[in-house]
Homo-oligomer: A and B are copies of this chain.
Amino acid sequence: MRLLITGGAGFVGARLARTLLASGTLAGRAIESLVLADQAPAPADLMADPRVASRVEPLLASCEALRDEPFDGVFHLASAVSGECETDFELGLRSNLDSTRSLLDALRHRVQRGAAPARLVFSSSVAVFGPDPALPLPAVVADDTLPAPQTSYGTHKLICEHLLADYTRKGYIDGRAARLMTVTVRPGRPNAAASSFFSGIIREPLAGEQAICPVSADVSHPVSSPQRTVEGLIRVYEASREAFQGRSALNLPALNVTVQQMLDALEAVAGPQVRSRVRFERDERIAGIVANWPRGASAARAARLGLAPETRFEDIIRQYIADCAGTPAALKGMKP
């Protein structure tokens, strides 16, 4: 089978690609070809695999050509992040809305010329939820909580969920939207996502660096490890339409955790000195965005697909440490 991952050079996309290539199959079919589309080149280990091809350009520029390429399956992960979209409104429209529309239309045109519809998993986000003065947010957002996005990022994700559902209803794709929880611990440098600090307050102290937490310790948030997130995307792809249930988006599993619990877990895994590198310094812009996010999420439909969240944040930190085993600089703040 031929697969496409948009955002395939990104953190989640590259991990998904590695997991798929290691397995060699998806939904019982051998993976013969895997195209990684992204604005950045794919990591070298992925490019070394003969099944992998890379396409380095904005997704919007790729879509015209995609009308002539037969893909059996697509993981559509490409996205500008929430902070970027708040500061650059047109970037958000272009990267998160117009690109998805173009991708769906490329797949539709193939079907209208007689091809079988591609299966497509879309990474939506817990950011679709948010309180509105007319719609207070429940303590825990469920699959069927009414979304009221409070960022352009969340708005565009929600709009794409509904485009996906309608293209699916019409038979142009076999689409499934899965709402990602905040994926942590991300490696590398902070990015412009308002949620970036959820990784930073773990990653930087482990690397021996100071970290700033821009929100108070009682902020609670639904998170997931990179590996559980990737497993969720694959399981959603492999589910039958009946098992997926309907065409509306589902929540991927979350561990609902406070900043305080995250730091306690950091201390339990890496010691008090590592934890002491985190300093609280409120950032009103970040705190304002995060205040509009859910404090927790449930995932009943994902549970029926056999997906479960982590139960302890310590396990998420240990996954990050294991991932960093080959790059000691990432962990230079930890005592051996």
Chain B nearest CB from A131 CB (Å) reads: 9
User: Chain B contacts of A158 at CB under 8 A?
Assistant: 162
From known contacts A89-B170, A170-B89, infer whether A149 and B132 are also in contact, taking CB-CB under 8 Å: no
A166 engages B170 (CB within 8 Å): no
Counting contact residues on chain A (CB < 8 A from B), the size range is 20 to 34
B135 and A246 form a contact (CB under 8 A): yes
A55 CB, nearest partner CB in chain B, Å: 26
Do the beta carbons of A170 and B149 come within 8 Å of each other? no
Q: Given A170-B89, A248-B134 in contact, is the A155-B144 Cβ separation under 8 Å?
A: no
Q: Which B residues touch A152, using CB under 8 A?
A: 166, 170
- Evaluate contact between A132 and B166: CB separation under 8 angstroms: no
Is A266 in contact with chain B by the CB < 8 A criterion?
no
Taking the closest CB of chain B, its distance from the CB of A217, in whole angstroms, is 28
Count identical subunits in the complex: 2
Q: Closest B-chain residue to A250, C-beta based?
A: B134
**A312 interfacial by beta-carbon distance below 8 Å:** no
Within 8 A of B (CB), among A141-159: 143-146, 148-150, 152, 155, 158-159
Contacts of A110 on B, CB cut-off 8 Å?
none
Contact A166 B144 (CB under 8 A): no
Residue from B89, B145, B246 within 8 A of A132 (CB atoms): B246
A135–B166 touching, CB < 8 Å: no
Instruction: Tell me the smallest distance from the CB of A249 to a CB of chain B, in Å.
Output: 9
How distant is the Cα of A89 from the Cα of B163 in the complex, in angstroms? 12
Asked if A276 lies at the interface with its beta carbon under 8 angstroms from chain B, I say no
Shortest CB-to-CB span from A300 to chain B, Å, is: 10
Residues of chain B within 8 A (CB-CB) of A170 are: 89, 152
Nearest residue (CB) in B for A89 is B170
Give Cα distance in the complex from A250 to B170, angstroms.
Answer: 28
- Residues of chain B contacted by A149 (CB below 8 angstroms): 162, 165-166
| A145 nearest in chain B by CB position | B146
| A245 sits at the interface (CB 8 A) | yes
- What are 5 A-B contacts with C-beta separation under 8 Å? A133-B245, A133-B246, A133-B247, A159-B159, A159-B162
